[in-house]
Amino acid sequence: MRPRPLAHPGAFEPFDERDTVFARARLVPGTETYERYYERRPEHREADDKTRALKNLAAPGTRRYRPLEAALVEGEFSVSDLIAAAVERGSDLPPNATPEGLGMVGDVDADGPRHHLPDPSPPALTDAVKQAALFAGADDVGVTALDPGFVYSHRGRPRTAFGEPVSLGHGHAVVLAFAMRHGFVAAGPEMAATAEVARVYAKAASACFALADSLGRLGYDARAHVDSNYLVICTALAVRAGLGELGRNGILVHPVFGPGVRLGVVTVDAELVTDEEGCWGIAEFCRTCGKCAVNCPSRAIPEGEPAVVRGALKWPLDPARCYHYWRTAGTDCGVCIRSCPFGKPDTPLHRFVRRSISRTTAFNRFFLWADDRVYGARPGPSRPPLLDIGKIED
Ligand code: SF4
Ligand code: SF4
């Protein structure tokens, strides 16, 4: 049988970013914002209070703590945070303006764009935007129309913007995918894997910021959506932009890089040519597989069939369980990424298997059996290259 993608039954309903675990984790008990949020969402208060009482990621005393890797995690995330703050300060400025104090190269003509593409037609502009995204460091890029269901209804981050309604007039989204290095991904849930995640988020933030700024200089209103400063749901947009399929583990599974990718988005007011949503047999394979669910240390990933959540057919993850585990480990875990059969290096053998999975479901059980035999049904973390992280616990 030919594999089919997950079919969504209706329109996607916008999600409130305040309800994400990352926004909730930053609420400070005793503040008005905290009280108002839990009046609206009392069902989250008890579990969130327990998680908030734990040490933060990369903190000394957490279960997977390693000093060098922890410092790298914080150093890389501080780059993302700086860029996220720069996006914020620039977001209300007119296109082509250089936000004061951002340290960017100035000399922009206030009367209009400084640079003009010779052919601004949608196909040529789309080609230029994709080339620019790859030049900035993306490993893959796709374009989609900005479905309003993929824009947050209200902001949850940064804390200063908590509760602001989101208004985003852009018609298109450019989605950038950045591959993580396989050797580090395979080390999850150890801290070295989290350092790699942080490094790639910083790279994504830098690339998206540069792309949005470049588009501004060409006369288009654009905004970068980067770690801790998103107005849009990146994974849903990435699926729409043809970059992969939504896996059982709740993240994008790319046809080449598997789940080992991080995403960034640039939304823009320009007319662009959109990509088609793709099918590589990934979601169909997930129905048979379930390896991420079996290996998840917090049991946050369901083992059954997908269900409809806000108009989307997906496997409904329990993010609060997942995030609670992160805070005990001190890392962002990543066991579901490391154990995924699609996360293998891009060798001729793995390419052959992926090609077969994309064409027929007939051998899915065999491929899963083979993956279990070769890599283990419950694979442990491997030692990452370069960083000496000491003993890796099972
Ligand atoms: S990151 Fe870890 S805890 Fe979270 S869903 Fe994946 S395996 Fe489970
Ligand atoms: S581990 Fe299996 S079920 Fe989970 S995302 Fe990967 S292929 Fe899908």
pLDDT in tens, 159-200: 889 999 999 999 999 999 999 999 999 999 999 999 999 999
Other C-beta atoms within 10 Å of 290: how many? Answer: 16
- Taking the C-alpha atoms of residue 274 and residue 240, their distance in angstroms, rounded to an integer, is 9
Reply yes or no on whether the pLDDT at 92 is more than 60: no
Reply yes or no on whether the pLDDT at 25 is more than 50: yes
Mean pLDDT score across all residues of the chain:
91
Say yes or no: CB of residue 353 within 6 Å of ligand 2.
Answer: no
Reply yes or no on whether the pLDDT at 104 is more than 80: no
Other C-beta atoms within 10 Å of 1: how many? Answer: 8
Distance from Cα 386 to the centre of ligand 2, integer Å: 28
pLDDT score, position 253: 98
Q: With H, G, I as helix, E, B as strand and everything else as coil, classify residue 167.
A: coil
Q: How confident is the model at residue 96 (pLDDT cuts 50, 70, 90)?
A: very low
Select the more confidently predicted residue: 208 or 94: 208
Distance from Cα 197 to the centre of ligand 1, integer Å: 14
Distance from Cα 321 to the centre of ligand 1, integer Å: 8
- Which residues does 261 contact at the CB level (< 8 Å), separation at least 6? 139, 140, 177, 178, 179, 180, 244, 252, 254
Give the type of residue at 21.
V
Q: With H, G, I as helix, E, B as strand and everything else as coil, classify residue 160.
A: helix
Q: With H, G, I as helix, E, B as strand and everything else as coil, classify residue 17.
A: helix
Give the closest residue to 259 by CA, choosing from 366, 359, 332.
Answer: 332
Say yes or no: CB of residue 334 within 6 Å of ligand 1.
Answer: yes
Mutate to test the pocket of ligand 2, among 280, 314, 342, 369 (most ligand atoms within 8 A of CB): 342
Is the pTM here over 0.85, yes or no? yes
Reply yes or no on whether the pLDDT at 362 is more than 90: yes
Select the more confidently predicted residue: 112 or 344: 344
Q: Please count the CA atoms within 13 angstroms of the CA of 317 that sit on its side-chain side.
A: 19
- Taking the C-alpha atoms of residue 175 and residue 286, their distance in angstroms, rounded to an integer, is 24
Give the type of residue at 234.
C
Query: CA gyration radius for the chain?
Result: 21
